[in-house]
Structure 1
């Protein structure tokens, strides 16, 4: 399975899963929606939390998805980098560097702190 995203940002692996198991994919999407709507966190806060979860778990594809979704929620590169810097004392330098590199790849080098 290819891990590249299509023009909608949906990972190819998830699209293939959805095609093969549409009812399960639909229920998975509904569960995601339900947990997002439950509780006091706003879109920006949820985006930062999901960025941290996927990054600390070492889920590269999910982390890239949450970088994209974070940008859509108005999270700046500087805010994402701050989240990743917070990885350092908990999960260590190598994991923090890997996550920082993924952010760098998804942003132009000259837009630190802003969204394009």
Structure 2
């Protein structure tokens, strides 16, 4: 398997994919690392941008992932919810409210 420690924290579907396709998973994680290191943004800004992209693409799983990571990295629930609020004029009120509920899934625990 690819990096066993990294996949321990993955959702079941992604974990299974990583186990079944270690070369693809390694290439995917290498791409993510290279993209992260390709520019001047600090880690907090990158996390908020990635959360915003997840909100914009309406990916509940990705929103959960970036909220979980953001909380682990010290971002506040208010900062994470603000990302979803900022989405209102761009993606629309209903989609932004869905994103706020996905953020709340992890911040209201």
Cα offset for 1:75? Answer: 1.3
Question: Structure 2: which 5+ runs fail to align?
Answer: 1-7
Cα offset for 1:71? Answer: 1.1
Alignment length (residue pairs): 102
Higher helix share: 2
The equivalences for 1:84-103 within 5 A come to 84-103=84-103
1:61 aligns with 2:49: no
Distance, in Å, in 2 between the alignment partners of 1:15 and 1:106 is 20
Distance, in Å, in 2 between the alignment partners of 1:97 and 1:58 is 11
Cα offset for 1:38? Answer: 1.5
Cα RMSD, aligned residues only? 1.2
Distance, in Å, in 1 between the alignment partners of 2:16 and 2:73 is 26
Residue 79 of structure 2 corresponds to which residue in structure 1? 79
Cα offset for 1:73? Answer: 2.0
TM-score, length of structure 1 as denominator length: 0.83
